[in-house]
């Protein structure tokens, strides 16, 4: 009898643990191919390895619970526990438009140095001060953005002239493309493939996983590694939900949100490398003449500084190599 009961008891305890688990939804507007999915998955796994009573984490990618704007709205209202989003949250304060400035970061390592030198704390404080029910648990990576198009390789600013490019983001990003001679176009992301296929637009700018996931390589010929914009991702929690946690669990949520940061940058780099490799042979991939581009946009930085000051710019510039 004892031999039969021994393996059953752990199962009974596991069942009781699951019954007592609190459901925690982590929603995102992008697909499971994005680094954001990995961030949600790794956060939930790490938290449950540390808490006394496991949480019932459920991850909803691909806008299953709404597009980015709706997710942010629902988080503010306290009707959603957690989200992982990108540029949508930057609209809370125009100073966050610094992430729409072109070529402001040299590479992923530069982003990490700037964040550790104080940019992380400044961005976190700005987001939280603009929304009383949002708490930032982590700032990671959505990715560097590149350009794909059907006409020609983009190697110099001249190559962008006359191209209709689907562009997301704020005023600074739109202005940069106009200065290069391109025509920014607003097209819903899910409609972009058809717009490219039918010639409504000539190309698009996006993070690598976006091109890969939407199979833009099936209708476009050129992928130019412009790295023109770096977009962070944000792991956010509703304060209504966060305040319902025990003090011990609150501490664990915050500690895990920070502790997984370095690993998430590594994971984002691996994903990008994989998607580049998978697209080789399907599109022509080229690098750009970077100095020609940065020369064209130097006034953009001065425009930002005039409006929002130079404190954040100094953090970024002082961490360049």
Neighbours of 221 (CB within 10 A): 15
Helix (H, G, I), strand (E, B) or coil at 223: strand
Per the domain annotation, does 299 fall within a domain?
yes
The predicted-structure confidence for 131-183, as pLDDT tens digits, reads as follows 999 999 999 999 999 999 999 999 999 999 999 999 987 778 888 899 899 99
Which whole number is the average pLDDT over 222-248?
97
The predicted-structure confidence for 72-98, as pLDDT tens digits, reads as follows 999 999 999 999 999 999 999 999 999
88 and 159 together in one domain: no
Task: Answer whether 101's CB lies under 8 Å from 304's CB.
Answer: yes
φ/ψ of residue 40, rounded to 5: -65, -40
What is the spatial distance between Cα 30 and Cα 34, in angstroms, rounded to a whole number?
A: 7
DSSP string, 227-288: EEEEE--EEEEEHHHHTTS-HHHHHHHHHHHHHTHHHHHHHHHHHHHHHHHHHBTTBEEEE-
Residues 6+ apart with CB under 8 A from 193: 214, 215, 216, 219
Weakest mean pLDDT among 4-18, 42-56, 232-246, 280-294: 4-18
Weakest mean pLDDT among 33-47, 171-185, 199-213, 238-252: 171-185
- Residue 75: what pLDDT? 98
Share of the chain above pLDDT 70, in %: 94
Mean pLDDT of the chain: 92
Q: Please count the structural domains in the chain.
A: 2
172 and 311 together in one domain: yes
Which whole number is the average pLDDT over 290-319?
94
Q: Which domain holds residue 81?
A: 20-142+232-270
The predicted-structure confidence for 241-278, as pLDDT tens digits, reads as follows 999 999 999 999 999 999 999 999 999 999 999 999 99
- Residue 304: what pLDDT? 93
Per the domain annotation, does 119 fall within a domain?
yes
135 and 216 together in one domain: no
Helical H segments across 62-207, by residue range: 68-77, 108-114, 120-129, 171-179, 192-198
How many CA atoms are closer than 13 Å to the CA of 162, on its beta-carbon side?
5
Which whole number is the average pLDDT over 9-32?
71
What is the spatial distance between Cα 211 and Cα 272, in angstroms, rounded to a whole number?
A: 11
pLDDT class of 4 with cuts at 50, 70, 90: very low
283 and 209 together in one domain: yes
110 and 252 together in one domain: yes
Residue with tokens 């402001």: 104
What is the spatial distance between Cα 305 and Cα 21, in angstroms, rounded to a whole number?
A: 48
pLDDT class of 1 with cuts at 50, 70, 90: very low
196 and 302 together in one domain: yes
φ/ψ of residue 51, rounded to 5: -80, 160
195 and 106 together in one domain: no
- Give the neighbor-by-neighbor strand order of the sheet with 23-28: 56-60, 23-28, 82-85, 234-238, 134-139
Per the domain annotation, does 283 fall within a domain?
yes
Is 70 exceeded by the pLDDT of residue 32?
yes
Q: Which helix (H) or strand (E) holds 135?
A: strand 134-139
Positive or negative: CA dihedral 198, 203, 205, 208: positive
130 and 148 together in one domain: no
Per the domain annotation, does 11 fall within a domain?
no
pLDDT class of 202 with cuts at 50, 70, 90: very high
191 and 311 together in one domain: yes
Per the domain annotation, does 10 fall within a domain?
no
Share of the chain above pLDDT 90, in %: 86
pLDDT class of 12 with cuts at 50, 70, 90: very low
Find, among 172, 306, 315, 309, the residue nearest to 231 by Cα.
172
Task: Answer whether 220's CB lies under 8 Å from 154's CB.
Answer: no
157 and 106 together in one domain: no
């Amino acid at each position: 009898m004892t031999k039969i009961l021994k393996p059953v008891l752990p199962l009974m305890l596991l069942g009781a643990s699951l019954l007592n688990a609190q459901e925690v939804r982590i929603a995102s507007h992008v697909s499971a191919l994005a680094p954001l999915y990995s961030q949600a998955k790794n956060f939930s796994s790490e938290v449950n390895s540390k808490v006394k009573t496991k949480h019932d984490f459920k991850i909803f990618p691909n806008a299953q619970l709404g597009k980015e704007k709706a997710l942010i709205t629902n988080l503010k209202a306290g009707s959603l526990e957690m989200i992982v989003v990108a540029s949508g949250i930057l609209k809370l304060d125009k100073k966050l438009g610094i992430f729409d400035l072109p070529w402001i970061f040299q590479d992923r390592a530069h982003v990490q140095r700037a964040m550790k030198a104080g940019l992380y704390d400044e961005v976190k404080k700005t987001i939280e001060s603009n929304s009383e029910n949002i708490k930032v648990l982590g700032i990671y990576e959505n990715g560097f953005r590149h350009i794909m198009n059907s006409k020609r390789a983009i190697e110099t600013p001249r190559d962008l002239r006359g191209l209709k490019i689907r562009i997301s983001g704020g005023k600074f990003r739109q202005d940069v493309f106009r200065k290069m001679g391109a025509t920014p176009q607003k097209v819903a992301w899910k409609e972009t493939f058809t717009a490219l296929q039918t010639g409504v637009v000539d190309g698009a700018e996006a993070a690598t996983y976006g091109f890969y996931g939407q199979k833009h390589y099936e209708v476009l010929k050129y992928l130019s590694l412009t790295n023109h914009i770096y977009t962070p991702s944000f792991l956010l929690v509703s304060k209504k939900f966060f305040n319902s946690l025990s003090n011990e669990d609150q501490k664990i949520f915050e500690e895990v949100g920070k502790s997984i940061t370095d690993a998430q940058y590594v994971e984002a780099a691996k994903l990008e490398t994989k998607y580049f490799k998978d697209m080789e042979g399907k599109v022509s991939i080229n690098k750009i003449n970077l100095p020609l581009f940065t020369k064209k946009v130097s006034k953009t930085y001065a425009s930002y500084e005039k409006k929002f000051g130079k404190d954040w710019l100094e953090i970024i510039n002082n961490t360049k190599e």
